[in-house]
Structure 1
Amino acid sequence: MIWPLDGASSDVVFNTWSHFSLSLNLEAASFTRYITPTKVEQKVRHLVIEWIRNEIVRHIPDAEVLVFGSTPVDMYLPSGDIDLVVQSKSLAVEGPPRSNITRIADILRSTDMALGEVRIFASAKIPILKFVSRHGKFSIDISVNVSNGVAAASIIRDFIRDIPGVKPLSLIVKCFLRSRDANEVYRGGLSSYLVVCMVIYFFQTHKGMRKSHTDPSSSLGNLLLEFLQLFGYDFNYLQSGISLRDGGKTFSRSERHWIYRPSQPRLCIEDPQNTQLDAGAGIHDIRRIQMLFIHAYDQLQAEIQRRDRSRSKALLLEGNSLLQIIMGVPLNVSATGPRWIAIDKANARKSSIGSILPCSIPQGDSIDY
């Protein structure tokens, strides 16, 4: 049994399946239901965001505090960051980005919002500050007067609406990369934005999904295998780039002059917001990610074939998870699933909404984005 929903037993019954690839489909669908943010988790995040927003606006009346990244589209993992941007004309007039981000940091330091240090990364291409919220223990990233993140969230929301499979498959891929410490760009991993762009392209160019009206959730396991095969074995990182325009296509990197070093594989993705920009330019070791995809594909295929060949009733009754093979945990993991996911889920649900409500935020208030 795996991926219990709110403490209930798993909705994957392994010993009812005669073919293990079918079991993987149901297991993947169950996993996405488990990892998808609950209404309580969403509410806790939104209340913390509103608390930060109120405090910043109290000191900078013309400020707008906007949310971008995975939070607005509910595609974050339980321990995922909250990305905020402060838009303010007065800040734009008063000083350069570095001094503006320092002012926001000073505001936060004057409150009890932060658990520990408020860190400023002023030398980054886009100056940001980082801290962990006292309530909810969320990692918060804040920038000032940067608009592309908010626009990107709107674009991604439209794709999710038009392609139902994007959200569940993206969550699985993000969890896989998280389990391999490959989900942070500065550590050589892939950002959530790039993962979603890859998943969108995958669905756009998937002949079966384009021609069929089948619910993708019924074949998520097979789709995961095909995604791993595409970006592990098939995609030409040396010559091709990805565009989400015109229903999804590839283009020649050399014709776009997106060749950074000869004979170096790169993940080049035309930014949906600005087709002149390479959204994957910051990824300098796509070969590592490619090898993770290859290894995961090989592991899953080999295990499915082994189990199908054995037809062992004992193996069926063991209730061992296929998905856990690529999540970096033993097959005999407990029913709560991979430990980091179970812990993050527990922490996300542990906080009582009432206990984190600042007195300035009345219960029941709606939160708009």
Structure 2
Amino acid sequence: LHEEIIDFYDFMSPRPEEAAMRREVVKRIETVIKDLWPTADVQIFGSFSTGLYLPTSDIDLVVFGKWERPPLQLLEQALRKHNVAEPYSIKVLDKATVPIIKLTDQETEVKVDISFNVETGVKAARFIKEYMKKYSLLPYLILVLKQFLLQRDLNEVFTGGISSYSLILMAISFLQLHPRIDARRADENLGMLLIEFFELYGRNFNYLKTGIRIKNGGAYIAKEEIMKLMTNGYRPSMLCIEDPLLPGNDVGRSSYGAMQVKQVFDYAYIVLSHAVSPLARSYPNRDSE
């Protein structure tokens, strides 16, 4: 399983051509933005900036500039005029918590989300990169888990799954609090870690009472504690992860499908632990179960 994870990672990792193609997409959109607002600053965040993206992942862009309100409609018109996006793919989500423009690039069919003046994404990407340096095994776990959730339609908050940021914080917490110190070493067995991740979040983690904290080396804390920090009487959600960059914000807040995710993690734990158990080797013909 360890070798399979490494092979999968090598196979799914972005090729230089893929990265170059995505940079071209960014450049095309940036040109349109700079055309409108020469002083605007366009930054990449999300999986494209951390390198933790699958071929199907979208590109997250944020535009910094001086506007009263995010100029979504203006940019939408400009993008249409320059034929950057597939005509029917441009959507303006101005009612969302973070208003964004969604589009699909005409040439490459890569999906792009554009937001305005939101610093959290850029900071989060920086934060994740720091932890990737600290835990060299993190990217391997993340790519496997992302693909695992993608195949089950649980990789988007609005389809009842969990966000990539939640998933990454769950993985960081798993490594931080792992009882075996060597779990953080580069030569640790990835197969073992993946099974233990599924066991923790599929079986053992108490979603009802416990929240996840990343800062200060990581901890599990009672949801009551987290509630005290929450702004405007907000109650912790089922999957409760304290935002390491914004205490009082619960990253798992909109992950309504946390229990479906728990279920598939539990199922994966059963299947994988059976597949690697010594007994499984004595029944070679039963591995199709």
Q: Same fold (TM over 0.5)?
A: yes
1:112 is paired with a residue whose SS is coil
Post-superposition Cα deviations, 1:315-338, rounded to whole Å, max 9, x if no partner, equal 6xxxx9x8xxxxxxxx6xxxxxxx
2:139 paired with 1:139: no
How far is 1:221 from its partner?
1.1
Per chain length, whose mean CA-contact separation is higher, i.e. which structure has more relative contact order (CA < 8 Å, sep 6+)?
A: 1
Post-superposition Cα deviations, 1:15-46, rounded to whole Å, max 9, x if no partner, equal xxxxxxxxx11111111111111111111111
Identity %: 33
How far is 1:213 from its partner?
6.7
Write the letter of the residue equivalent to 2:109: K
Q: Where do residues 289-304 of structure 1 align in structure 2 (5 Å cutoff)?
A: 289-304=261-276
2:46 aligns with one of 50, 65, 69:
69
Write the letter of the residue equivalent to 1:202: F
Are the counterparts in 2 of residues 265 and 286 from structure 1 also a CA contact under 8 Å? no
Are the counterparts in 2 of residues 86 and 145 from structure 1 also a CA contact under 8 Å? yes
Q: d(CA) in 2 for partners of 1:244 and 1:27? A: 29
Are the counterparts in 1 of residues 41 and 63 from structure 2 also a CA contact under 8 Å? yes
Normalising by structure 1, we get a TM-score of 0.73
Q: Where do residues 1-369 of structure 1 align in structure 2 (5 Å cutoff)?
A: 24-89=1-66, 92=67, 95-97=68-70, 100-117=71-88, 118-208=90-180, 210-211=181-182, 214-216=185-187, 219-257=189-227, 266-305=238-277, 306-310=279-283, 312=284
1:79 is paired with a residue whose SS is coil
Write the letter of the residue equivalent to 1:283: S
Q: d(CA) in 2 for partners of 1:188 and 1:279? A: 15
Write the letter of the residue equivalent to 2:159: R
How far is 1:136 from its partner?
1.6
Q: d(CA) in 2 for partners of 1:103 and 1:265? A: 36
Which runs of 5 or more structure 1 residues have no equivalent in the other structure? 1-23, 323-330, 332-369
Q: d(CA) in 1 for partners of 2:30 and 2:186? A: 38
Are the counterparts in 2 of residues 129 and 142 from structure 1 also a CA contact under 8 Å? yes
Which runs of 5 or more structure 2 residues have no equivalent in the other structure? none
Are the counterparts in 2 of residues 120 and 129 from structure 1 also a CA contact under 8 Å? yes
Write the letter of the residue equivalent to 2:4: E
Are the counterparts in 2 of residues 265 and 287 from structure 1 also a CA contact under 8 Å? no
Write the letter of the residue equivalent to 1:192: S
Distance 1:41 1:229, change over 3 A: same
Structure with larger Rg? 1
Post-superposition Cα deviations, 1:73-102, rounded to whole Å, max 9, x if no partner, equal 11011010101111111xx1xx423xx111
Normalising by structure 2, we get a TM-score of 0.92
- In the alignment, which residue of structure 2 is the partner of 1:357? none
For these two proteins, the number of residue pairs brought into alignment is: 283
